[in-house]
Homo-oligomer: A and B are copies of this chain.
Amino acid sequence: MLTLDDHKALLVKFQSLLALLLMVVIFSVSAKGFFSTDNFWLVLTQISVNLCLSVGMTLVILTGGIDLSVGSVLALSGAVMAGLLKNGLELPAFNLFVGFTVLGAVLTGLLVGSFLGLFNGLMITVLRIPPFVATLAMMTIARGLTQLWTGGAAITGLGEIFGYVGTDRLAGVPVRVWTCAAVVGFAILALKRTRFGRYIYAVGGNERAAKLSGLNVNRIKLRVYTIAGALSAVGGLIVTSKLDSATPVAGDGYELDSIAAVVIGGTSLSGGKGSVLGTVVGTLIIGVLNSGLIILRVPPFWQKVIKGGVILLAVAIDKLNTKEQ
């Protein structure tokens, strides 16, 4: 039997889904070329990066935190992968040179991302720095490090194999989409069916009660931020691989897109309430909107205005229909 909240939750999901379907229908009739298998896959591949970041962001926000560093972490870990793969690692100190295989480079990149996330977590739990500040600082630091590592230039020409994740298909489905699907699947399972997942809701719902029930709140937060960092690195892998190059500006401003996706998906910024499925819908709404407006050939100047308006509408539909606290 469903409760008030299940109903609401369902309703919310359903509502943003409604907004999404509405958009799809409108674009399908108005924008020729929008409703096609090609474009279907295209939208999916184009949201894949934002989706990876947003899943991590969802976990973070569910604990009542926020992560502004996802974009820069994406850039740095992408650059690390590209750099190691292209130039290897020189350690003049020991006049040593380390070459990297694709796998080695990718894994190192993922490690870097996770480490940066862990660092966020430590700042937030040990030094008790508000998540907003801690991750904002990381955002600047990681961006600076990226520019230093790349010397401000793009690292290009990373080769076929590395391009696999970003460009290839597996069983007819783009590898990027497989990757996101896996990420989303794991996240949903973890949130719904593991202790860790429930503790995330507990920490976000009532941190004090969580502590009093003996949960190790700090450890939970550490894990969540580390995961967010790792997923940003996955995003970095996808971007770098699909562009066959790592640019120092990669991921600039992605933090807002991803937070937007999460919130449009019905997750509350105060923590404790929300779902990864909602986030998927949120990401789709943004992706469909971007694609549709371009295919409709909306003049560049108008795109922003319309995009903003549509997002307001999409969320308003939710709220109006789930009215009553």
Hey, which bits of chain A sit against chain B, CB under 8 A? 68, 123, 127-130, 132-134, 136-141, 143-145, 147-148, 152, 256, 259-260, 263-264, 268-270, 300-309, 311-312, 315-316, 319-320, 323
Contact = CB atoms under 8 A, between A and B. Distances in A.
Given A127-B312, A133-B315, A140-B305, 9 more contacts: A123-B316, A127-B315, A130-B263, A130-B269, A132-B259, A140-B307, A144-B303, A144-B307, A145-B305
SS of A interface (majority): helix
Contacts of A129: 312, 315-316, 319
Contacts of A312: 123, 127, 129, 133-134, 137
Nearest to A267: B130
A207 to B, nearest CB: 10
Nearest to A302: B144
- Determine how many copies of this chain the complex contains: 2
Contacts of A315: 127, 129-130, 133-134
A72 to B, nearest CB: 9
B304 A143 contact: yes
A305 B72 CA distance: 12
Nearest to A306: B144
Contact of A137 (B138, B148, B300, B311): B311
A316 B270 CA distance: 23
Nearest to A262: B132
A304 B141 CA distance: 6
A106 to B, nearest CB: 25
A301 B270 contact: no
A56 B323 CA distance: 29
Contacts of A130: 263, 268-269, 315
A138 B304 CA distance: 10
A319 B128 contact: yes
A17 B137 CA distance: 19
Contact of A305 (B144, B259, B263): B144
30 contacts: A68-B256, A123-B312, A127-B312, A127-B319, A127-B320, A128-B323, A129-B312, A129-B315, A130-B263, A130-B269, A130-B315, A132-B269, A133-B263, A133-B311, A134-B312, A134-B315, A136-B256, A136-B260, A136-B311, A137-B309, A139-B308, A140-B304, A140-B308, A141-B305, A144-B302, A144-B307, A144-B308, A148-B301, A148-B302, A152-B301
B269 A301 contact: no
A270 B302 CA distance: 34
Q: Which of A143, A145, A256, A259 has the most CB of B within 10 A?
A: A256
A115 to B, nearest CB: 15
Contact of A304 (B144, B264, B270, B316): B144
